[in-house]
C-alpha cells in the first residue's frame, strides 16, 4: 500500500459514468501521474535518449520523464507479479513432483501481458518501451513482443469475404491460429512461430515468420486482444497473466490519427509499394478528408463496437491526454 500522501483517489459513481465506466468505484485504484510515479521506488532508469528515440512511434514525442514516471513503476509492479507467478508455479511443481515422484521442477511458463487499445492511441509504442524496460530486470531478460497484426487474414482472403472495410474488426483475424499460438507459448514449446505483417504493403508477408523461443515474458499487443469473440475455441485473454488498456478521449485519438496520416503521407506513402501510395500527392485538406473518412467509417466504429467495451477487462488502464502524455492510471483491485 502507498503512504497516505500517495493514496489514490477513488472516483465517484458519477465520475466513472462520465468516463464510460459502469462498474463500482471500489473496483479501481485511481492514481494521478505524480502518485503513480512515486511508486517507482528505487527502480533505475536504464534507457538512454538514443534508445528511446528508436522506440518512439512516428508521431509521438515520448520523453525519458514519461519512461521514469509511468513505465518504471509499471515495470516494478510487473517484476513483482512475475516473481509471484513463478512462486505459485513452484508450489504446483512440488505438489506434482511429490505425487509423480519426479523430483525436479519444470521450467516456468512465460508470463503473458496483453495490451489493447484503439488505432493511433500509441499502444505499439507503449508495448515497445515496456519490452525494453522489462528486459532490463535481471529476473526476466528475455522479453518477446508479438502483435496481432500477423494474425489478420491476408488481403486476398479479406477481399474474398468482403471484409476489407472491416480490417481490424474481430472477424478479420484468424482467431484459431492466434489462440493456437498463445496456447503453444504458454505450454512452453521450444519454438513457436507467428506470421509477419507489413504496414507498408498492408498485408501478411508470405513465407516470413517471427520465431518465439521460450521467453520469460511475452507482450501480446493488438486492437482486440481483450475481445470475447463468438465461435473462438477460447479467448486470447484466457492466456494473459496481466493486461493493459491504453486509453484516451475519442476526439484526442482522432486528432492523433489525422496527424499520423499526414506524416505518413509525406514519408511511407511515397514508397511505390505502399498500399496507400495513391494518397501521396493529395493536397492537405483532401488528405485530411480521407483520414477523417477512414477514421469515422472504420476505426471509430471498431473502437465503439469492439475495443472500448473491453476496457474494463484490463488489469490496468493508462489514460492519456494531449501529446500522448499519461495523466492517470487505473489499477484494478485484486
Q: What is the pLDDT of residues 6-31, one digit of tens each?
A: 334 444 443 444 455 544 456 889 99
Q: Which residue spans within the chain are E strands per DSSP?
A: 28-32, 111-117, 143-147, 192-198, 203-212, 217-221, 242-247, 316-320, 326-332
List pLDDT tens digits, range 177-201: 999 999 999 999 999 999 999 999 9
Total structural domains within the chain = 1
Q: How many CB atoms lie within 10 A of CB 139?
A: 12
- Kindly tell me if the per-residue pLDDT of 156 is higher than 70: yes
Does residue 60 contact residue 326 with C-beta atoms inside 8 Å?
no
Domain extent at residue 255: 4-332
Cα pseudo-dihedral 42, 47, 48, 54, rounded to 10: -160
Q: Report the C-alpha gap between 237 and 179 in whole angstroms.
A: 9
Q: What is the CATH number of the domain that holds 161?
A: 3.40.50.300
Grid cell locating 136:
532490463
Does residue 20 contact residue 97 with C-beta atoms inside 8 Å?
no
Does residue 112 contact residue 218 with C-beta atoms inside 8 Å?
yes
Q: Report the C-alpha gap between 308 and 227 in whole angstroms.
A: 10
Higher pLDDT, residue 101 or 287 = 287
Give the per-residue pLDDT at 217. 97
Grid cell locating 51:
534508445
Amino acid at each position: 500500500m502507498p503512504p497516505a500522501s500517495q493514496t489514490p483517489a477513488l472516483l465517484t459513481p458519477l465520475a466513472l459514468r462520465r468516463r464510460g465506466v459502469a462498474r463500482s468505484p471500489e473496483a479501481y485504484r485511481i492514481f494521478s501521474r505524480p502518485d503513480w510515479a512515486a511508486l517507482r521506488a528505487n527502480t533505475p532508469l536504464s534507457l538512454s535518449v538514443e534508445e528511446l528515440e528508436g522506440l518512439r512511434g512516428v508521431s509521438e514525442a515520448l520523453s525519458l520523464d514519461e519512461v521514469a514516471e509511468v513505465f518504471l513503476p509499471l515495470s516494478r509492479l510487473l517484476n513483482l507479479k512475475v516473481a509471484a507467478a513463478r512462486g505459485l508455479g513452484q508450489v504446483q511443481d512440488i505438489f506434482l513432483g511429490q505425487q509423480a515422484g519426479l523430483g525436479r521442477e519444470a521450467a516456468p511458463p512465460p508470463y503473458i501481458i496483453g495490451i489493447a487499445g484503439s488505432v493511433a492511441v500509441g499502444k505499439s509504442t507503449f508495448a515497445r518501451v515496456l519490452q525494453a524496460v522489462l528486459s532490463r530486470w535481471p529476473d526476466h531478460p528475455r522479453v518477446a513482443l508479438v502483435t496481432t497484426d500477423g494474425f489478420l487474414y491476408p488481403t486476398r482472403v479479406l477481399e474474398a469475404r468482403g471484409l476489407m472495410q472491416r480490417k481490424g474488426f474481430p472477424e478479420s483475424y484468424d482467431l484459431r491460429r492466434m489462440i493456437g499460438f498463445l496456447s503453444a507459448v504458454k505450454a512452453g514449446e521450444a519454438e513457436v512461430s507467428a506470421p509477419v505483417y507489413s504496414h507498408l504493403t498492408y498485408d501478411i508477408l508470405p513465407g516470413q515468420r517471427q520465431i518465439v523461443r521460450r521467453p520469460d515474458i511475452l507482450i501480446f499487443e493488438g486492437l482486440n486482444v481483450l475481445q470475447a469473440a463468438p465461435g473462438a475455441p477460447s479467448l486470447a485473454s484466457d492466456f494473459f497473466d496481466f493486461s493493459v488498456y491504453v486509453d484516451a478521449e475519442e476526439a484526442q485519438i482522432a486528432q492523433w490519427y489525422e496527424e499520423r496520416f499526414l506524416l505518413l503521407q509525406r514519408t511511407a506513402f511515397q514508397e511505390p509499394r505502399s498500399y496507400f501510395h495513391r494518397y501521396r500527392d493529395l493536397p492537405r485538406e483532401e488528405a485530411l478528408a480521407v483520414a477523417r473518412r477512414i477514421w469515422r467509417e472504420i476505426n471509430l466504429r471498431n473502437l465503439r463496437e469492439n475495443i472500448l467495451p473491453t476496457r474494463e477487462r484490463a488489469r490496468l488502464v493508462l489514460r492519456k491526454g494531449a501529446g500522448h502524455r499519461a495523466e492517470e492510471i487505473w489499477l484494478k483491485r485484486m
